Chains A and B, each alone.
Chain A
């Protein structure tokens, strides 16, 4: 399983300038974040309708050199934010191959209908909203409940709230709406900071969540445990159904060693297909194939 450590910051906007991005990452490291996601936004609504089956989503930016530089210190994930107005996006998402290269998928609905769709059937992990355009979109109770049941997470960004008082008001309004509609369940807080001066330490963020109507527990979890849950969910969506093999370290006594050895060979063949993060150890376990 992919290992991640707290604290998490799931929204660092991508910057073309390597120097700026590196400064932000260094600051994040300094503040004590361990897992971050670099965000790339994509406006679906502006695109003309292209023919079916065509790739619509962009390739993820190459950040291999940053990964290498910060390996062992920061886990860098990639995330795409899809801005959209209608439900056509869901078809494009199912056929897209590029989308699977991203670790996290966030939806940013622009209309009420899109927001409802986002909560009920969007194939992503995060629901976010535009901090600049104001807070005309407020989620209603029913779709909020559905989204919570599906394990989606709502995102609050704090960097715009720091820099501008109008944004701050809107952000508080949206966050308090989450509180009224469903006791602020499933909320994560991320930065969305374009400059390293806008970043705050994890404990500061947890304290800041007081004005967003979150309790102390929720505030801490919103940068730690919920993000872990979110990551696991995203990973399971990306990898799909996976067979896992459990390896025992101590000696295991076989009752019928020949039979199991044969079965193991079959399992081995399957396991090679399922690559990624499964640990395949075809020894000494009898598995029943369903």
Chain B
């Protein structure tokens, strides 16, 4: 048996000016990433990376995405993430949160991360309704779409 090793990179998309939703879906992000890989490393890296490359999850409200790629080509991708300033047609940057080997670990991390974010933001909201809204908005997660 040959085991295929994947890497799952959890990233946060930080827009230049704060917006509510990003209007990005998996396809736009994936296309944009592959375009940048080709721009910086050329067709060689694209060939290595393209097989097994997929944006597993992209939530444009919490602005978190999970990218899957093969273990071999991971460095080609992770090293250019900081150089990107334009995603689709939004001025934004990537912030690497976590690199894991399974999607479950990534999921765990994201839940933790969101919970921490929630703890910080909860203090600033006034009414209970707002708080509930915030909770729903922040913790909305379904990987198996």
Residues of A within 8 A of B (CB): 31, 158, 161-163, 168, 197, 200-201, 203-205, 207-211
Contact = CB atoms under 8 A, between A and B. Distances in A.
B61 interface: no
B53 interface: no
Nearest to B85: A162
Interface string B29-55: 000000000001000000000000000
B81 interface: yes
Given A200-B93, A201-B96, A207-B78, 8 more contacts: A162-B83, A162-B85, A197-B93, A204-B82, A204-B95, A207-B82, A211-B79, A211-B80
Most chain B Cβ neighbours within 10 Å, of A200, A205, A207? A207
Interface residues on B, range: 10 to 19
B16 A197 contact: yes
B78 A200 contact: no
A205 B81 CA distance: 10
Contacts of B72: none
A156 B141 CA distance: 38
Contacts of B85: 162-163, 197
Nearest to A200: B82
Contact of B79 (A197, A201, A208): A208
A204 B81 contact: yes
A207 B81 contact: yes
Interface in B51-105: 75, 78-83, 85, 91, 93-96
A18 B40 CA distance: 36
A158 B80 CA distance: 12
A204 B16 contact: no
A205 B82 contact: yes
B35 to A, nearest CB: 15
Contacts of A197: 16, 85, 91, 93
A31 B95 contact: yes
Nearest to B80: A211
B83 A168 contact: yes
Contacts of A200: 82, 93, 95
22 contacts: A31-B95, A158-B82, A162-B83, A162-B85, A168-B83, A197-B16, A197-B91, A197-B93, A200-B93, A200-B95, A204-B81, A204-B82, A204-B96, A205-B82, A207-B75, A207-B81, A208-B79, A208-B82, A208-B83, A210-B75, A210-B78, A211-B79
A203 B75 CA distance: 13
Contacts of B96: 201, 203-204, 207
Nearest to A31: B95
Most chain A Cβ neighbours within 10 Å, of B16, B78, B96? B96
Contacts of B80: 211
A201 B83 contact: no
A158 B82 CA distance: 9
A123 B40 CA distance: 39
Nearest to A207: B78
